[in-house]
Amino acid sequence: MSRIALTLTATTALSVLSVTATAESNAFPDCIASQHEINLNDIAGRLFQQMPREHQEKIALGGGIGSEGFDLKAFESGVQIDVSEQIDAGITAHEYLDLLVSDELGARLTEEQWNILNSIADTLDSGKTVPALCFAPGTDPEYAYAINQLIEFPFQIMFQQTGRWNRTATDGSGLGQGDPTTLTYSFVPDGTFIPNLGLGLGSGNSVLFAWLNNRYGPPSVWQPLFDQVFDRWAELTGLSYVYEPNDDGANTNGAVGILGVRGDVRIGAFNFANDGNFGVLAYNNFPNDGDMIFDAYDNYYNSTSNNYRSFRNVAAHEHGHGLGMLHVCPINSTKLMEPFATNSFDGPQLDDILNGHRHYGDPTEPNNSPITAIDMGSIDATDFYGLSNLSIDDETEFDMFRFELTERASFRFVVGPQADEYRTGPQTQSCNNGTLVDYDAINDLKIDLYEAGNLIVPIASENTAGAGQNDDMTVPLEDPGVYYIIVSSATSTNNVQRYQVTALTQELPPVECEADFTGDGILDFFDVSAFLAAYNSMDSSADFNNDGIFNFFDVSAFLNAFNAGCP
């Protein structure tokens, strides 16, 4: 069963989203927000719904927890709709649509808008899934809200993730949470059939090359834009991308990726029906179908400023859906997966990175064995090493580092969180709020240091700081050689923790060696000769037992120290 997401046009637009369970779904799907915060928000939301209308309005105006579904803009314009008490078990999508569309709204709807509403209801009543739709500025808010409610009414949307890729053309099957993943991508040839997915947007033959060749120039101009999008996702997460130059033109949205035949992610375009210009910009399937379909000839893509940022951000957002990511609120132009396009930034932001790490790990994956450990290289007594954008994707994962110490040194290793505290939540009608989550303090990280010859018992550990704080370990290492560090969680929160590390070395104080009378660091005949000279002259340095007497016991103590060697 395929699941699809559609996107977007502007920061002030309205949107709707659909998520459905499949046979592979878990009772508690993968999420970015902590389960504790979600539970609190769910309880608050239930209490909010039981309050009098005037109390709801005051709480929503103050941005109170649980009020995320209350549309203040719609309330202010008199179009807030609440039909929750009218929904009976077994109600059909068309019956629910009748409840959603007031007489006033029905009179305002165009024929094309009715086509979209009825097409969605037909698809839902047939037992199929329906993707998300997003709207341009100026869209009737009551119409947009009706579509949102229509798509969401069979489902309970709680999380900002769907399932991830569990098979690809390169990696095969059996992929799971946090596993690094390689995706191939291809461009469907013009004429490839793009089927009707029940969106009310129709079907058509792809015109991707004709459209973009006319808009931007030859493929040598616009295909690298996609390369940049995929390269950025790869730079930030455990994903890798390989361009597949072949595409056999099989119908989109169903054919799996095959090396040498077609990509896992296939890119096409046609002119959407019932949409007009500047409406729905694109849609993208969820894994394991990552096909990305654009609305050809939409004027939104005319801009080439900032290296075609408008186009690239739409592609990056759509591919986010193709990686298993849902829309996230609130809308404040800080997250790529917000429901509406923005040029305020370029590509994935912090929340999107956390989302990607949860599903596919960080860019250093795999890194949890001596063979695949993150290589810090050779380190001397005055060295520095730093690495950021690391993560453990849950409480059971760990990252391993390897370094070779070339000389005795004081070794310092610091682990610190690298995220932030911000509001986040699933898409709602107003999309103006979310749950405040401190992603710096999801898991309490700890450090264990091992010698290469014993990876069972650590020679040093550090976990004195709590979640959200830096853990700082300093250890004198007298012996050069290979060492391993493991960063893991000391807590049991099943969620992603992003972090960064810093390592530095300092020289240890010189080692005192009593028998080294010449001070050259080498014990030899010259040290014996120097000791005897000091002894004969009754120099205090030859009083080895410090009793103020020069006798056989001093000679015996010197010989014992000489035979023991320097540390």
The string of pLDDT tens digits covering residues 344-361 is: 899 999 999 999 999 999
Burial of 409 (0-12, 13-18, 19+ CB in 10 A): buried
Strands 181-187 and 239-243: parallel
- The encoded tokens of residue 177 equal 């949470």
Most confident range (mean pLDDT) of 138-152, 156-170, 220-234, 293-307 is: 220-234
> Across the chain, what does the average pLDDT equal?
82
The CATH T-level fold of domain 374-506 is Jelly Rolls (2.60.120)
* Structure confidence at residue 566 (pLDDT): 76
* Structure confidence at residue 567 (pLDDT): 66
* Structure confidence at residue 15 (pLDDT): 26
Domain ranges of the chain: 15-152, 167-360, 374-506, 525-564
Q: Residue 384 and residue 412: Cα distance in Å, rounded? A: 10
All residues at 6 or more sequence positions from 205 whose CB lies less than 8 Å from its CB, including other chains: 190, 191, 192, 193, 194, 270
What residues form DSSP beta bridges with 15? Answer: 134
Strands 265-270 and 292-295: parallel
Matching residue, tokens 């939301």: 45
Q: Is 565 helix (H, G, I), strand (E, B) or coil?
A: coil
Cα 517 to Cα 117, 337, 511, 549, 558, distances in angstroms: 94, 70, 14, 19, 10
DSSP secondary structure letters along 395-459: TT--EEEEEEE-S-EEEEEEEEE---EEEEEE--SS----EEEEGGGSS-EEEEEEETTBSSS-S
Q: Which residue has the higher pLDDT, 502 or 143?
A: 502
All residues at 6 or more sequence positions from 490 whose CB lies less than 8 Å from its CB, including other chains: 443, 444, 445, 446, 463
| Weakest mean pLDDT among 442-446, 475-479, 518-522, 531-535 | 518-522
Average pLDDT of the segment spanning 23-40: 36
Q: Residue 133 and residue 130: Cα distance in Å, rounded? A: 9
* Structure confidence at residue 63 (pLDDT): 58
- The encoded tokens of residue 507 equal 């020289």
DSSP secondary structure letters along 148-170: HHHHHTTS----SB-----EETT
* Structure confidence at residue 293 (pLDDT): 94
The string of pLDDT tens digits covering residues 375-422 is: 999 999 999 999 999 999 999 999 999 999 999 999 999 999 999 999
The string of pLDDT tens digits covering residues 287-312 is: 899 999 999 999 889 989 999 999 99
- On the question of pLDDT at 362 being above 70, the answer is yes
Q: Residue 535 and residue 230: Cα distance in Å, rounded? A: 76
What residues form DSSP beta bridges with 293? Answer: 268, 283
Contact call for residues 283 and 211 (beta carbons, < 8 A): no
Cα 406 to Cα 372, 396, 414, 482, distances in angstroms: 21, 33, 20, 9
Matching residue, tokens 């290589």: 375
All residues at 6 or more sequence positions from 277 whose CB lies less than 8 Å from its CB, including other chains: 297, 298, 299
All residues at 6 or more sequence positions from 259 whose CB lies less than 8 Å from its CB, including other chains: 169, 170, 184, 244
Cα 214 to Cα 208, 222, 297, 321, distances in angstroms: 10, 11, 10, 27
* Structure confidence at residue 153 (pLDDT): 54
The string of pLDDT tens digits covering residues 196-239 is: 887 788 999 999 999 999 999 999 999 999 999 999 999 999 99
Burial of 99 (0-12, 13-18, 19+ CB in 10 A): middle
CA torsion, ordered 335, 340, 343, 349, to nearest 10 deg: 10
The string of pLDDT tens digits covering residues 38-67 is: 455 555 555 555 555 555 555 665 556 555
Candidates 3.40.50.920, 3.40.640.10, 3.40.390.10, 3.90.950.10; correct CATH number of 167-360?
A: 3.40.390.10
Fold agreement between 167-360 and 374-506? no
Q: Residue 428 and residue 435: Cα distance in Å, rounded? A: 12
Closest by CA position to 502, among listed 365, 378, 383: 383
Q: Is 263 helix (H, G, I), strand (E, B) or coil?
A: coil
Give me the half-sphere count of Cα atoms (radius 13 Å) on the Cβ side of residue 288. Answer: 19
Cα 136 to Cα 43, 71, 314, 347, 354, distances in angstroms: 33, 18, 14, 20, 28
